[in-house]
Structure 1
Amino acid sequence: MTPDAALDTSGFAELGLRPELLRALAQLGYEEPTPIQSEAIPPLMAGTDLLGQAATGTGKTAAFALPILARLPSGERSGDPFALVLVPTRELAVQVSEAVHRYGRELGTRVLPIYGGQPIGRQLRELQRGVDVVVATPGRALDHIGRKTLRLDALEIVVLDEADEMLDMGFAEDIEAILVETPESRQTVLFSATMPPRIDAIARRHLREPVRIQIERESTAPGEAPRVRQSAYVVPRAHKPAALGRVLDVEAPEAAIVFCRTREEVDHLTETMNGRGYRAEALHGGMGQEQRDRVMARLRNGTADLLVATDVAARGLDIEQLSHVVNYNVPSAPEAYVHRIGRVGRAGREGVAITLAEPREHRMLKTIERVTKSAITVEKVPTVADLRARRLELTRSALEESMLEDDLEQFRVVVDTLADEFDLVEIAMAAVKLAHEASGAAADEEEIPEVPLRGDRDRGRREPAGRGERRPRAVAGGMTRIFVGAGRSAGVRPRDLVGAIAGESRLGGREIGAIEIADRFSLVEVPDHAVEDVISSLRQTTIKGRKVTVRRERFEPR
């Protein structure tokens, strides 16, 4: 069989891709297009706008990268970009850029990632030399447009990848400003894991009669195990670190991410898990890019097996060996849950999504089930007996592997000598005991109390306060409430406050806590570590077109 004939069996040939791309895909081991690639590539090749809903891990990068490369002009190309791909994070910019480079190597494709935190001089030089595809974070792209170093006159295609994440991070205005600078004749492609109303609004404004596709995670046949096994454990707050260790001991993940709400929680839990013998690494917004790169290198090369991170810090990460995602707290929005579990269960492998829920969080679990259209099984925290059984099973497996693969002949003389005095079964049990203890198996542990899952009906309902009064509400641990001097009478809505904070400070939308809007003011919970940054940033911007008073809340209950 000739190489070209072999390409015809891949399934990609039927999509009208160039031979150079088919050869690249064959070399990379791609055999059949994923559902999103099969549905998205033909309309994108035809120049049609597209609105796609697809989770991480469904193959959407290739779904838009391959049509871009297929439509690149042959021969000598101009220096201005043919396509612009906007992504929410530095990590995703690098990831998409590397993928485009791999697919388009034989075409000589010039691809450039541009993002903050990288010396701008190199980006300026590469843009001046000429590029075909720019993969950029919105802020840095807008910076280059303002400098006249990113020229968009020849742009044919704009891709908004992970659009919901970009909006959550406060990039809505940047995206609008960038799209205004692009030719009206451009093809616009938008991919998002979720489809909140804001995404539909952008699509209506900027996409022309788009093809709409929605790709769910590949379902399994009846009787088969789900690709992502989703479970929850009900745990009192004080016992959560011990419960996490217990669950991970039983699950024995290849690599796992544990999502926390705040930097302080990340640092504390990382220290706790290292104390339990895990090789845990912290990742949060208080770390510099060099520190982040070192952490990710340790995770990818296997010197760390547990990443404890905030949502914002973990955006855009793609870890090949990841098997488990753990929500240390129930996510405040179903969309956050969708993004998190999208990191596992890829390429036919089973992934595991675990949530540690406090009893009062029952309703949020039910909401997540409804949005994701999949069941989250509530399980009992493993008991001490379960843990012992699991550890003994691991010891048994290690011994079995040693008997099958190791050269044990040198130890025969020890067994023969002991056999003169002891029964062979007793000798074997003593050897297993030593192997079990040498594995680091812990001694007896305290049982974690079982807590029944209940709804919120036992929580006191807030009664409406009288005019001019407000009743203080307990602030979540690790959070501080700030006062914003604008409320309902000024037309302020929660999304206005989230957008202002995420757009002007270093805090991401997912890190913002409860928001209360009164007639003349609003109260917003933010992590303790970010209070001064948020206050300073909001004082320098406007909300609903005007400057407002911003300070720590000074209210004290009577």
Structure 2
Amino acid sequence: MWSRAPGPYFRPEENQARYDPHRSPRVASHRRGSTLTTFRDLGILSETAEALEAVGIMSPFPIQEMTLPVALSGSDVIGQAKTGTGKTLGFGLPLLERVTVPADVEAGRAAPEKLTEAPQALVVVPTRELCQQVTNDLLTAGKVRNVRVLAIYGGRAYEPQVEALKKGVDIVVGTPGRLLDLAGQKKLDLSHVRSLVLDEADEMLDLGFLPDVEKIMKMLPPKRQTMLFSATMPGAVIGLARRYMSQPTHISATSPDDEGATVANITQHVFRAHNMDKPELVSRILQADGRGLAMIFCRTKRTAADIAEQLEKRGFASGAVHGDLGQGAREQALRAFRNGKVDVLVCTDVAARGIDVEGVTHVINYQSPEDEKTYLHRVGRTGRAGAKGIAVTLVDWDDIPRWKLINKALDLPFDEPEETYSTSAHLYEILGIPAGTKGILPRADRTRAGLRAEEVEDLGETGGRGRRSAPAAAAPAVVEERAPRTPRQRRRTRNGAPVSADEATAVSQAPAATATAEAPAEPRTPRRRRRTRSAEAVVETVEAPVPAPAAEPEAQAPKAPRRRTRTAKPVEAATEAPATAEAEAEAAPAKAPRRRTRAAAVDTAEVQVPAPAAEAEAPKAPRRRTRTAKTAEAATEAPATAEAAPAKAPRRRTRAAAQSES
């Protein structure tokens, strides 16, 4: 019934001695050529069979039926079967049987010395999605025995994986990169691994993981069981098996009524379509009668993102899975697809292997695959576990040469695809599309919740938003600490440095004029120094206010705004003209600096405000900002006529005055 490739022939009577004592009574009833109908007949533990029966898995598939007796004996196995025929349980059940857990010690099947916290089995897979799929299947089968299975792959934080390894793990499923990283950091102990499985070895070869896989295999104990499973077996994979496997049994499970490369339950259609008409064409195919979940495969990440967006605008509940998305977004789309919130999954070839979702009825190849292996794995996402499915491939005019090579390699009857458009009558007839269907989904049929209904899982990325927002209780404490931050406001003030909060509050509430006399005077003197133009004027400016009484700063305080206006002098001079000769003498020396510089003129007008002459001499320091301070002193000390002194100053500045004096 089932064929087996040439290799070491399986002899039950020779391999029975290799079985553990608790398995031998059940295996003794196995006879070559007999038809095994249940997993219990294959010799697995009753707890494992009970876990499978709880999810409705009763009878084994051909690859499982042929692989389990050989793998349970401890021999190396090369398993080859079509995609969707149950290869995961074909190697997963032997791994679960060979792992020692506390349940085995309680049942008396194993000694306590065999228990260990280090991994006892290792499964290497090429993609993250396949890693999750294998982990879920092993957890389901080992639920009753409480087998600890851990998925290790990139895109997640290291810390949760390292903590899980410290607590203890029985089986590790991971991608080559993260496995090598943790093993190199001494976080992953591979010295107790007794069984190794390489799943989808041909894909690891295509992705360039073969050197990493060889490094991992060198870290394992030399005495171990190695199993290699894949749908296709290139020459490089066979060479790897010869180097690292000991007399492997090559098992190829096929059915007599399933002679093609793909499963017979899959109905395939190939159409020649124009690239600009493909979105409309796909939208109408998705409205075919009996369509359940659908997967659309694209060759590039940009195309996958664009098609998912277009389908969402047309009313379809779609999600995307491709390499440009973060791990959280990829897992969100897959969960929504499995939960039924999204019924169209647009993805690249990262989801072409290992994705086992129940209810996928249609697979659409939006772009032609690269080779025949990719085509087999894409199409294999439907028609799984005996179900029926439909595969539609859209080939553009530029992809005709590539498709002919794929068609010839797989011996398919689609060498010349029929030219098809979104309005072609044969498209509606072949795929069962109702007449009058358009490219936009009617509102009455939009019953799915959509991708946004599925929450994004917090993967615990180091330094990520989810990690910072996790402790929600700490948020109010942070607000309370930030409330009393008045010292920062005190640093911005121009008054001294009040330290206490009471002084800061008093200063902020009081006006600027009521501040202390010393505080405002000290910061103002440097500003006057910067405006002076001679060192002598600076010295006299600093000395002038020192002996002045406390009332002088109050008199000087209103002078500051008057110095800002240059036009205030003429108006004030007309209204406050001196009446006596002594007042004119005091005003005379102020005219000289007014003619020399504009700044001095402004200062002079401001000094004329006080009436007493004694008090007016103290603020004369700003007048000495002129270039010749000695001239100003001579003008103030001259006892002669007050009008002659200011007249000589402007004559010296002109050439005519200099010639008349000479």
TM-score, normalization: structure 2? Answer: 0.55
- Asked if 1:42 is matched to 2:80, the reply is no
Q: Residue 352 of structure 2 contacts residue 378 of structure 2 at CA under 8 Å; is this kept in 1? A: no
Q: Residue 24 of structure 1 contacts residue 102 of structure 1 at CA under 8 Å; is this kept in 2? A: yes
Match of 1:454 in 2: none
Q: Displacement, 1:62?
A: 1.0
- Asked if 1:334 is matched to 2:387, the reply is no
SS at match of 1:158: strand
Q: Displacement, 1:50?
A: 0.8
Q: Residue 10 of structure 1 contacts residue 30 of structure 1 at CA under 8 Å; is this kept in 2? A: no
SS at match of 1:84: strand
- Asked if 1:12 is matched to 2:26, the reply is no
The 5 A counterparts of 1:21-170 are 21-73=48-100, 74-75=104-105, 76=112, 77-170=115-208
Q: Displacement, 1:344?
A: 0.7
Higher relative contact order (CA 8 A, sep 6+): 1
Q: Residue 42 of structure 2 contacts residue 69 of structure 2 at CA under 8 Å; is this kept in 1? A: yes
- Deviations along 1:327-363, whole A, 9 cap, x unmatched? 1121111111011111110122211111111235344
Q: Displacement, 1:384?
A: 5.6
The 5 A counterparts of 1:269-284 are 269-284=307-322
Residues in 2 aligned to 1:33 and 1:103: alpha-carbon distance in whole angstroms? 13
Residues in 2 aligned to 1:360 and 1:116: alpha-carbon distance in whole angstroms? 36
Match of 1:366 in 2: 404
Residues in 2 aligned to 1:48 and 1:16: alpha-carbon distance in whole angstroms? 16
CA 1:12/1:300 → structure 2, altered by over 3 Å: closer, same or farther?
A: closer
- Asked if 1:323 is matched to 2:350, the reply is no
Q: Displacement, 1:313?
A: 5.5
SS at match of 1:286: coil
SS at match of 1:107: coil
Residues in 2 aligned to 1:105 and 1:111: alpha-carbon distance in whole angstroms? 10
Residues in 1 aligned to 2:351 and 2:258: alpha-carbon distance in whole angstroms? 32
Decide which of 389, 393, 399 is 1:355's aligned counterpart: 393
Match of 1:254 in 2: 292
CA 1:394/1:11 → structure 2, altered by over 3 Å: closer, same or farther?
A: farther
SS at match of 1:179: helix
Q: Which amino acid aligns with 1:283?
A: V
SS at match of 2:222: coil
SS at match of 2:378: helix
SS at match of 2:58: coil
Q: Residue 338 of structure 2 contacts residue 357 of structure 2 at CA under 8 Å; is this kept in 1? A: yes
- Deviations along 1:29-48, whole A, 9 cap, x unmatched? 22211000011111101111
Match of 2:218 in 1: 180
Uncovered stretches (5+) of structure 2, i.e. residues with no partner: 1-25, 31-35, 106-111, 447-662
Q: Which amino acid aligns with 1:45?
A: L
Match of 2:465 in 1: none
- Deviations along 1:434-456, whole A, 9 cap, x unmatched? xx988589xxxxxxxxxxxxxxx
Match of 1:266 in 2: 304
Q: Displacement, 1:311?
A: 1.3
Residues in 2 aligned to 1:232 and 1:387: alpha-carbon distance in whole angstroms? 11
Aligned residues: 393
Q: Displacement, 1:149?
A: 1.9
CA 1:289/1:221 → structure 2, altered by over 3 Å: closer, same or farther?
A: closer
Q: Which amino acid aligns with 1:340?
A: R
SS at match of 2:286: helix
Residues in 2 aligned to 1:391 and 1:158: alpha-carbon distance in whole angstroms? 47
SS at match of 1:323: strand
Q: Which amino acid aligns with 2:347?
A: A
Residues in 1 aligned to 2:138 and 2:284: alpha-carbon distance in whole angstroms? 42
Q: Residue 230 of structure 1 contacts residue 375 of structure 1 at CA under 8 Å; is this kept in 2? A: no
CA 1:86/1:228 → structure 2, altered by over 3 Å: closer, same or farther?
A: same
Residues in 2 aligned to 1:41 and 1:169: alpha-carbon distance in whole angstroms? 29
Match of 1:305 in 2: 343
Q: Displacement, 1:365?
A: 2.9
Give 1 or 2: higher strand fraction: 1
SS at match of 1:249: coil
- Deviations along 1:172-225, whole A, 9 cap, x unmatched? 111010000111111110111211122112111111111111234784699xx9
SS at match of 2:187: coil
CA 1:383/1:171 → structure 2, altered by over 3 Å: closer, same or farther?
A: same
Q: Displacement, 1:136?
A: 1.1
Residues in 1 aligned to 2:315 and 2:78: alpha-carbon distance in whole angstroms? 46
Q: Residue 230 of structure 1 contacts residue 376 of structure 1 at CA under 8 Å; is this kept in 2? A: no
- Deviations along 1:404-463, whole A, 9 cap, x unmatched? xxxxxxxxxxxxxxxxxxxxxxxxxxxxxxxx988589xxxxxxxxxxxxxxxxxxxxxx
Uncovered stretches (5+) of structure 1, i.e. residues with no partner: 396-435, 442-558
Q: Which amino acid aligns with 2:399?
A: E
Match of 1:230 in 2: 268
Q: Displacement, 1:135?
A: 0.9
Q: Displacement, 1:280?
A: 2.3
Residues in 1 aligned to 2:293 and 2:287: alpha-carbon distance in whole angstroms? 12
Which structure has the larger Rg over C-alpha atoms?
Answer: 2
Q: Residue 297 of structure 2 contacts residue 349 of structure 2 at CA under 8 Å; is this kept in 1? A: yes
Q: Residue 53 of structure 1 contacts residue 191 of structure 1 at CA under 8 Å; is this kept in 2? A: yes
Give 1 or 2: higher helix fraction: 2
Q: Residue 296 of structure 2 contacts residue 347 of structure 2 at CA under 8 Å; is this kept in 1? A: yes
SS at match of 1:33: coil
Residues in 2 aligned to 1:26 and 1:438: alpha-carbon distance in whole angstroms? 41
